[in-house]
Chains A and B, each alone.
Chain A
């Protein structure tokens, strides 16, 4: 089991972080989320085409980079920390599902960034459903690719990543395998947990930095135990969340048998830890944290939307109980 990033993974992290730092800093995230499309297609194009990140886990013979879920986790941690708007996570889900199904038709376009794809996770809302060229619809073990059709953008809690209502009938079958779909769902859970880890870390970093400079009663708020002890607890959550994400990503790559329980664990723990940390970070900012201009609420909202994206925590806890044969 490998829980520590390799030198190459650290380089990947640095590269993605530096790219996002210039191409999509938070000030730009705010502009993009208010734009008509809700994201910057140019950033998406560079992320997918230039950096090749949409096809990270796609095998090389289907146009991907043939990397592992451990690498994908590193990337999603960064896109999460940056609150990257747009369909990157949606496309990643689609790439995962198509890869597991052994698809050869859609993957090249998805990987190249020319086809925006998403997965309908439930009947009423589709992540980036309005922007997607292709919506993958799961019916039991069968997966259909739906193009066109009615798409109604929804106004959701998280302004940095949109969802839509979409007509999900019709379309052509791209593959059918219950095992592949089940594994893809576990991989979604791991991928999302990695994004959540990034959100968690970013919110903790933000409040740690602020608590060093915000002064009340003549001293920095970070020197008060009421604040310091909360931050210490948040740090403990981060340590455990990171350990779980590394483990789940390792299981995705190296230990298929351990993946289901690892994936359920990741959503059960990291989803909650991420929201609680984002909430505490916002609260410890004081009034400014409740202000639209401040970024704390964006993280808080992303964290909440992420927490329920693949079903609420109780779903993952129940799954874990089943897997543990309780």
Chain B
């Protein structure tokens, strides 16, 4: 019952405050509006719903988080640029940061005053992120970083990044990683926006040339970075599946609600395909609700979040694909009046959901290994010192 009341209040707030357009790469005005929205969101108690009160959160559970996300689906929120900080970097600092780090970074993150990015993937290390090569070496009580990151979402707007580096090449790859907070404006950090297949610059490549990082920016332990990364990735899958910080579905032209208005439902084939979309959407929505209720009851979903992420990726691709084929030739023309470019925009964006946050294959590996307890594949990379391992693209 309190849940019903919570949702009702959330909805009222959203009705009064949402509305700004979600932009992949907002300009200065868009960014200012987005920041103002986040501050209002935080004032209203809907930013950092599950985060500890002490650091600026609301101290509630995933149930409220998901309840809010469920209401927010019906609106358009300008939260895209904050999604990495809210879904991944922040929760990692809450779990593993020092109190000084939490006191310094969490509140501004929740209020949209500072934007975060996640610096894990490299040209030679995506799925196999522990194969990364960006080096951090100790110097003058701090660290010096050299290397390159890629596919870094929202880095062009970011103030800080959660950076995963290699600090020891003489041990197997998982044992020589260390995580840092990096100031994206520090000397030696070069950010180059990278246009993705939608034509927008959603992600970037980042170059680190002798970038200095102070000792207090270490997250977790030296050479303990893998443990931190796993924490981040777990949050990533849960937050993606719960659609934390995502912009909502109101403008998505490939949903059941949107399509039923756009197509001729007297055609029995069209009807059946819409029913299929409804079935899949309901099945996943109910699964997400069940995960939220379990969390509230003290059952942590853990790796089962990967199932929700995989299902969301498949549903996203299925619905965009179906939408274009139902609507037909006119669907390929970009609709410039809508935030996401209409169905052309939706089908162009769909693959992102299957790649960012781990590919479908990696999700299936995780479900197999961690949820079902299946035997792992035989691996070379767990015992060989990193310097002797093949990584990246080899010819």
Contacts and interface: CB of A to CB of B under 8 A. Distances in A.
B283 A235 contact: no
A2 to B, nearest CB: 7
A4 B376 contact: no
A229 B364 contact: yes
B282 A265 contact: yes
Nearest to A262: B282
Interface in A222-257: 222-225, 228-229, 231-233, 235-236, 239-244, 246-247
Nearest to A236: B307
Interface stretch (B111-119, B247-255, B285-293): B285-293
Contacts of A225: 361, 364-365, 377
Chain A, interface size category, equals 35 or more
Interface size class of B (residues with CB under 8 A): 35 or more
A4 B364 CA distance: 24
Secondary structure at the A interface, as helix, strand, loop or mixed, is helix
A4 to B, nearest CB: 5
A219 B274 contact: no
Interface stretch (A59-67, A68-76, A154-162, A316-324): A316-324
B19 interface: no
A247 B368 contact: no
Contacts, number: 119
Contacts of A208: 372-374
A4 B294 contact: yes
A236 B371 CA distance: 11
Interface in B143-199: none
Nearest to B288: A243
Given A3-B286, A326-B274, A240 B311 contact: yes
A314 B279 CA distance: 13
Given A2-B293, A229-B361, A326-B260, A269 B374 contact: no
Interface string A21-50: 000000000000000000000000000000
A232 B282 contact: no
B290 to A, nearest CB: 4
Q: Which of B299, B363, B365, B374 has the most CB of A within 10 A?
A: B374
Contacts of A222: 368, 372, 374-375
A290 to B, nearest CB: 23
B137 interface: no
15 contacts: A3-B289, A208-B374, A222-B372, A223-B378, A229-B368, A232-B307, A235-B367, A239-B311, A240-B287, A243-B289, A265-B279, A265-B283, A317-B279, A321-B271, A324-B260
Interface of B: 260, 265, 271-272, 274-276, 278-279, 282-284, 286-287, 289-290, 293-294, 297, 299, 304, 307-308, 310-311, 361, 363-365, 367-369, 371-378
> Considering the complex of A and B, which 10 residue pairs feature the smallest CB-CB distances, nearest first?
A228-B368, A232-B367, A232-B364, A243-B286, A222-B374, A240-B283, A3-B290, A229-B364, A223-B375, A243-B287
